[in-house]
Amino acid sequence: MRALGGLTVSAVGFGAMGMSHGYGPGPDRDANIALLRTAVERGVTLFDTAEVYGPWVNEELVGEALEPFRGQVVIATKFGFAIEEQGRQSGVDSRPENIRRVAEASLRRLRVDTIDLFYQHRVDPDVPIEDVAGAVRELIEAGKVRHFGMSEAGTATIRRAHAVQPVTAVQSEYSLWSRQPEGGLLDTLAELGIGFVPFSPLGRGFLTGKIGADTVFAENDMRNGLPRFSADALAANQALVELIGRIADGKGATRAQIALAWLLAQRPWIVPIPGTRRLERLDENLGAVEVTLSPADLDEIETAAAKIEVQGERYPEQMERMTGL
């Protein structure tokens, strides 16, 4: 277990997005529900979803799966995208009235009385962050939300929001091949007592060693549109996977476990949320908490990683502009 701001959660959480959004077709609904419930039985207490995943259907899935475990788990969801009636995403929208609308809808879909952790999914440049934090504060005062979070926000924005309503957790991409949070974000979170939730801690699957330059993704898999997943970038970045593999072989662990153990070793208030649709991968991910990386191991990883220049941007320019990092 780890302290995540004002929450206590399992050291490794579960990102549910990929069950219904972003990575092509997967198992049927019943199989996903069974896996989520197995995750609880295995000790996972932090589950992450969002209105925009699907949209809507991922929250419904998580809500149905976790309904028997009310009070035993922490469910995080997100607001902040503009979604048209037919489900098309059309920019961002963090107006207070939209935050309130999303909260009510998320409560219904998640089958809960209170949202445990409510993130702003992306900063809205047209709405002062003080207004956003104030709207969430009102929801907290009304008993509809317990904790406020932010996703992919910059340090100055986090400070302004935190002054209005304390931020419990910040979520951003962080892994051995995506290390932007080290440029000041982690220090700011440490100063303010805010927990950190890395999404895509396995590099959207790349750091597991199971993706190569010849990998073909499903037509609607989001990785098709990410520069870092071009064939040239995947080939160039194999050096990082080989580094992780050398450490893994010496530990009797898998590459995924080393990548997660590295994250867990960075700060005691970091809780990664790998996602999966397969039981064997769930067990593998959770096994990372049993892997100990010594200071010498961490130094070896750092020294070797410093010599590897990761190729390809993590997002296309339009998506990157929506982040505050």
- First CA to last CA distance, the chain: 28
Distance CA 77, CA 82 (A): 15
183-200 core/surface letters (b: 16 or more CB in 10 A; e: else) = eebbebbeebebbbbbbb
DSSP 16-83: -GGGTSSB---S-HHHHHHHHHHHHHTT--EEE--TTTTTTHHHHHHHHHHGGGTTTSEEEEEE-EEE
Phi and psi of 169, rounded to 5°? -145, 150
List the catalytic residues. Answer: 53
Tokens linked to 34: 């069974």
CA gyration radius, the chain: 19
